[in-house]
């Protein structure tokens, strides 16, 4: 349940609850009509997010990241999101579950056993760089 309240400074604030905590957010408006406009805009944006696919989020987020983050970080995030989409599919953001994230994490980790002992523990790309293990396990 959300409430609009006018504070003593003349500005309307939106009060919501998240996990039992009260959250105050300024609407930036000093009139009730301005505060209601802020509330409607917030509802519209919330509905848009519920219908947002990961591929759409990726495009939006990476355009933000290119301006605000280092190029190497953008490259890292691009690869991570792309790999995640390949692993669990391109779905609406609200459809992803913690189990899908765990599935992704597990699918990107390799254990190599030889005679019951772990001889390799790492990423597939690291396994491909180790010539001895590559010869044994990838040939």
Instruction: Report the percentage of the chain scoring pLDDT > 70.
Output: 96
How many angstroms separate the CA atoms of 114 and 121, rounded?
12
What's the whole-number mean pLDDT along residues 124-133?
76
Q: Do 99 and 68 share a structural domain?
A: yes
**Same-domain pairing of 10 and 43:** yes
Q: Are residues 69 and 92 in the same domain?
A: yes
47-106 residue pLDDT tens: 766 788 999 999 999 999 999 999 999 999 998 899 888 888 899 988 888 888 888 887
Residues sharing a CB contact under 8 Å with residue 64, sequence separation 6 or more, in sequence order: none
Same domain for 69 and 102, yes or no, is yes
* pLDDT for res 65: 94
> Are residues 37 and 72 located together in one domain of the fold?
no
What is the rounded distance in angstroms from the CA atom of residue 13 to the CA atom of residue 23?
10
* Whether residue 38 is found in the same domain as residue 62: no
How many residues belong to the chain? Answer: 139
30: containing domain: 3-50
Question: Domain count of the chain?
Answer: 3
């Amino acid at each position: 349940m959300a409430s609009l309240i006018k504070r003593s400074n003349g500005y309307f604030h939106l009060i919501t609850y998240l996990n039992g905590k009260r959250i105050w957010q300024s609407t930036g408006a000093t009139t009730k009509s301005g505060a209601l406009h802020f509330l409607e805009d917030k509802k519209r944006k919330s509905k848009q997010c519920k219908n947002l696919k990961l591929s759409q989020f990726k495009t939006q987020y990476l355009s933000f990241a290119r301006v605000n983050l280092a190029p190497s970080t953008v490259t890292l995030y691009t690869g991570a999101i792309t790999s995640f989409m390949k692993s669990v599919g391109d779905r609406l953001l609200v459809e992803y579950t913690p189990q899908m994230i765990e599935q992704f994490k597990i699918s990107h980790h390799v254990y190599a056993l030889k005679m019951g002992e772990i001889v390799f523990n790492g990423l597939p790309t690291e396994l491909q760089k180790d010539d001895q293990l590559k010869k044994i396990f990838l040939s």
